[in-house]
Structure 1
Amino acid sequence: MVDSLGTGLFLPYALLYFLDTTRVPLSTIGLALSAAAALALPCSAVFGQLVDRVGARRSVVLANLAQAAGFLGYLQAGSATRIVAFGFLVTAGQNLFWTANGVLITQVSDAADRVRWFSLLRVVRNLGTGVGALLASAAAMGSAHACGRAVVAANAASFLVAAAVLARWRPREPPAAAAPAPARGPGRGGYREVLADRRFTALNAATVLFAHCLLALPLLLAVYVTRSLGRPAWVAGALLAGNTALIVALQTPLTEAMRPYRDTRLLRLAALFLAASSALLWAAPAGSTGWTTLSLVAALACYTAGEIICCPVLTDLVATLAPPELRGRYFALNQVCWSLAAVLAPSVLTRLLTAGTAGLWITLLITAGAASVLAAGIDAGSGELAEPPPAGAAPDPSRR
């Protein structure tokens, strides 16, 4: 919650901060931040090994410290080179956080409650980011230069507080739910074994496709609503605010309702909702009409339902497929998929929108369909995806 609050403070005004506090032009700022993200992307492979060796909690602490150092550096980022350097620290810290955080939750929660905890994490982070954005909006009413530096300093402080809290926290291990796995022979393990896992490969491919579908709305909604539909910009802002509010309100109860169903079946349902969202946005008529408003609201509802379903389930599947001693590497490679989509989606989606709205929405419909097919492929192979019950217990017939 603490670091999400800081992130919400900074993200809405990141570009404005560098424009107000440096002489670097906007196009160069964007290029510098993209370069920082690209440089940090390969680090995830090393982060997986780090998490497996030093532990998830220590890795999360290190991730928060790296991000704090990056934001403190932003206070002195007067050139494009410094923006790249400190942006690398921030982005690498984010990648390490998401690699280690999933492992940490997996270690301290029961398998039956894991999706609930991943869902709760999304609620807390959305709430923190939303409150931070509101505070940043209030701060922006003052001097742009002074407020920008105050927001960056507050963000750095939030990561330091989060690191201090985690450094003092000693998690209690959950009770074992199954017999321990047999020891691996010498030479087993490592990224070679991770890459040989066909179901995990299918999951990663599905993750890239789901990520593109999920990034479409926040990236394109404002441009699509104003340029293609002729509605004011506040409409897009209201829709995105509604998305955050719905996640905070509905993530937990919907996660409880999802518990009897298999993860892969839920992913196919999420793909259907995301496809419906794209179809409704494509069908929305231009102009200020009741049908336009209805289409936008319905599209937002479908998008939010797909997001609520697929995000915790995708993370839970990584934890389910990963052997305990390789969890860091599994989460690291899955994080690469999210990061890769974040790098590719802005370019791919904006090019599609520039070429014409029909091509954009058709592509997203195909993407959602392909994600559904890949989700079905995760079930292929031997063995059940669900973690085994305790010795002597009957299989759970309710998970369908």
Structure 2
Amino acid sequence: MFAGWRTGLSGPVIVLQAGTAVNYFGTGLILPFEIIYLHRARGFPTATAGLVLAAVMGTAAVLTPLSGALLDRFRAKPLLITGDLASALGYAGFAFVDRPWQAFVCAAVGGAGFGVANTANQVLSLTLVSAEQRASSIALRRVAGNFGLGLGATVAGFIIASADHLRAFQALYLFDGLTFAVFALVVLVGIPNPRRANAASARDRGTGFQAVAHDRLFLILIAANIVFVMTGGALFSNILAPFAEAHTPVGPGEMGIVLFINTFFIVVAQIPATRVVKRMRRTHALAATSALFAVGLLAVLLATLTSSTLTATAVLAGVAIVIAIGECAQFVVLGLIVAELAPPHLLGRYMSLYGLAFMAGVALGPAAGGALLATSPDAVWWGGALTVALTGAGLLRLGNRIPDPLLQTHYPPPQAVSLADLDSAGHSEVESKEMS
């Protein structure tokens, strides 16, 4: 198991992702209790509290493409530090809000920082490693985020359970802000500031997002990623709990165990799974991902066929593991393809739109799932399974259009012919003419 966790990554990359884990630990502290804090401790209506949280992700979504453009002009390290400091200010400010407008200001500042820092972290992680290490770097970043988020939520649950009052919530928000500041300090002191790749001509730089929009393969993969996040991640995380409570014998306690299994399995299996995925054709890996999500979503319906709490919990625990395996493959394969498709001078824009696709999936999944849950609950699962299965079939049809090291090994591209070979061929032709 420990051998499978060896990534071969350099010290700065390990330090960067350790800082990411600390950062996400702070986020986990407040994430499950934000509406509770704003409604119960500050007296905001639940609708207003929900809009405040929406403002965080809305601002992040607006700033994410802008951060991509900035990253194509400036180095990632200073932008990451700037984004983290903005998030530190915004989230620490939540501890002192007592009016809705103050909460919206903090949400805008914190969301802007998140939108910039998230993309900058991805770009910095990619620039610190070689092309062969990108998969391991992406996997380690995902492990760090999930580990920090899960641990933070667990610790916060114990804190709120033992001290459910205003000062406890304030302490959590202040500590969350502190983790952003600590992460900025880690990046400042422990992470190099690599130069961005040599840009193309001024004409190429001027095309900006227009150049990205002309990459049809990238747009197809972004659309597929939105479907994966909606069906595999968002439906499981946001819709399964209310569905299980209403239609299965599983209660909140058992659902807590199911969600823990999913997060724990991702943390433990992500890096070893990266080694497995490397041995697969990428189209096959994406098709397998869609198949896993489809099977997991359909298996949810099996939990409605039993009256036994233990049996239903076991079924949903199996669903959690299947979805986790699919997520492990999804993040590594799609992230790696996007990084390889991006020209060096457009890496920031490509990664920003890739991150924006995750935000879109996270937002659309609960919206679509919530609407179906109110009208046709079973349709959430078979409809989601059908959608992701069709997406996987479409990706499988892309075939050789998706860059794949395994294909390049078996079928070297014409550009691989060396100049020496061409020169030799030219001399042979001249000699034959002279002999004739």
TM-score by length of 1: 0.90
State the AA in 2 paired with 1:52. Answer: D
Q: CA shift at 1:282, angstroms?
A: 1.7
Specify the alignment match of 2:208 in structure 1: 190
Specify the alignment match of 2:259 in structure 1: 240
Q: CA shift at 1:290, angstroms?
A: 5.5
CA-to-aligned-CA distance 1:254-276 (integer Å, 9 cap, x gap): 11122122333211111110000
Q: CA shift at 1:51, angstroms?
A: 1.2
Q: In structure 2, do the counterparts of structure 1 residues 60 and 264 end up closer, same or farther at CA, with 3 Å as the change threshold?
A: farther
Instruction: Return the match for 1:266 from 276, 282, 285.
Output: 285
Q: In structure 2, do the counterparts of structure 1 residues 80 and 99 end up closer, same or farther at CA, with 3 Å as the change threshold?
A: same
Q: CA shift at 1:297, angstroms?
A: 2.4
Q: CA shift at 1:330, angstroms?
A: 0.6
CA-to-aligned-CA distance 1:40-70 (integer Å, 9 cap, x gap): 4222221111111122122211221111011
Specify the alignment match of 2:275 in structure 1: 256
Question: Within 5 Å, which residues of 2 pair with 1:294-373?
Answer: 294-373=314-393
Q: In structure 2, do the counterparts of structure 1 residues 353 and 143 end up closer, same or farther at CA, with 3 Å as the change threshold?
A: closer
For CA contacts below 8 A with separation 6 or more, give which structure has more relative contact order. 1
Identify the range of structure 1 (35-44 vs 214-223) with the bigger mean alpha-carbon deviation: 35-44
Instruction: Return the match for 1:211 from 229, 237, 247.
Output: 229
Contact 1:282/1:357 (CA < 8 Å) preserved in 2?
Answer: no
Q: In structure 2, do the counterparts of structure 1 residues 58 and 70 end up closer, same or farther at CA, with 3 Å as the change threshold?
A: same
Equivalent-residue separation in structure 2 for 1:377 and 1:236 (angstroms)? 37
Q: CA shift at 1:184, angstroms?
A: 4.0
Q: CA shift at 1:187, angstroms?
A: 4.5
Specify the alignment match of 1:391 in structure 2: none
Q: In structure 2, do the counterparts of structure 1 residues 365 and 22 end up closer, same or farther at CA, with 3 Å as the change threshold?
A: same
Q: In structure 2, do the counterparts of structure 1 residues 89 and 370 end up closer, same or farther at CA, with 3 Å as the change threshold?
A: farther
Question: Within 5 Å, which residues of 2 pair with 1:87-126?
Answer: 87-126=107-146
Gaps (5+ residues) in structure 1? Answer: 175-179, 389-393
Answering whether residue 188 of structure 2 is matched by residue 167 of structure 1, we say yes
Answering whether residue 166 of structure 2 is matched by residue 145 of structure 1, we say yes
Q: CA shift at 1:305, angstroms?
A: 0.9
Computing the radius of gyration over CA atoms, which structure comes out larger, 1 or 2? 2
Answering whether residue 37 of structure 2 is matched by residue 24 of structure 1, we say no
State the AA in 1 paired with 2:366. Answer: P
Equivalent-residue separation in structure 2 for 1:109 and 1:173 (angstroms)? 11
Equivalent-residue separation in structure 2 for 1:293 and 1:230 (angstroms)? 8
Q: Which secondary structure does the structure 2 equivalent of 1:42 belong to?
A: helix
Q: CA shift at 1:75, angstroms?
A: 1.9
Contact 2:64/2:353 (CA < 8 Å) preserved in 1?
Answer: yes
CA-to-aligned-CA distance 1:275-328 (integer Å, 9 cap, x gap): 000110022224225542342222122111111111222211211110111011
Specify the alignment match of 1:227 in structure 2: 246
Equivalent-residue separation in structure 2 for 1:34 and 1:296 (angstroms)? 29
Gaps (5+ residues) in structure 2? Answer: 1-20, 413-436
Q: In structure 2, do the counterparts of structure 1 residues 230 and 108 end up closer, same or farther at CA, with 3 Å as the change threshold?
A: same
The structure in which a higher percent of residues are helix is 2
Answering whether residue 296 of structure 2 is matched by residue 283 of structure 1, we say no
CA-to-aligned-CA distance 1:204-263 (integer Å, 9 cap, x gap): 101110110111111012212211113221111000011111112111111112212233
Q: Which secondary structure does the structure 2 equivalent of 1:5 belong to?
A: helix
Contact 2:60/2:116 (CA < 8 Å) preserved in 1?
Answer: no
CA-to-aligned-CA distance 1:65-122 (integer Å, 9 cap, x gap): 1110111221222222222221122222222222122211211111122111111111
Specify the alignment match of 1:73 in structure 2: 93
Q: In structure 2, do the counterparts of structure 1 residues 39 and 183 end up closer, same or farther at CA, with 3 Å as the change threshold?
A: closer
TM-score by length of 2: 0.83
Q: Which secondary structure does the structure 2 equivalent of 1:137 belong to?
A: helix
Q: CA shift at 1:395, angstroms?
A: 4.4
Answering whether residue 409 of structure 2 is matched by residue 396 of structure 1, we say yes
Specify the alignment match of 2:5 in structure 1: none
Q: In structure 2, do the counterparts of structure 1 residues 185 and 46 end up closer, same or farther at CA, with 3 Å as the change threshold?
A: closer
Equivalent-residue separation in structure 2 for 1:51 and 1:183 (angstroms)? 14
| Percentage of identical aligned residues | 26
Q: In structure 2, do the counterparts of structure 1 residues 182 and 79 end up closer, same or farther at CA, with 3 Å as the change threshold?
A: closer
Equivalent-residue separation in structure 2 for 1:303 and 1:67 (angstroms)? 31
State the AA in 2 paired with 1:186. Answer: R
Contact 2:199/2:344 (CA < 8 Å) preserved in 1?
Answer: no
Aligned-pair RMSD on alpha carbons? Answer: 2.5
Contact 1:32/1:81 (CA < 8 Å) preserved in 2?
Answer: no
Q: Which secondary structure does the structure 2 equivalent of 1:305 belong to?
A: helix
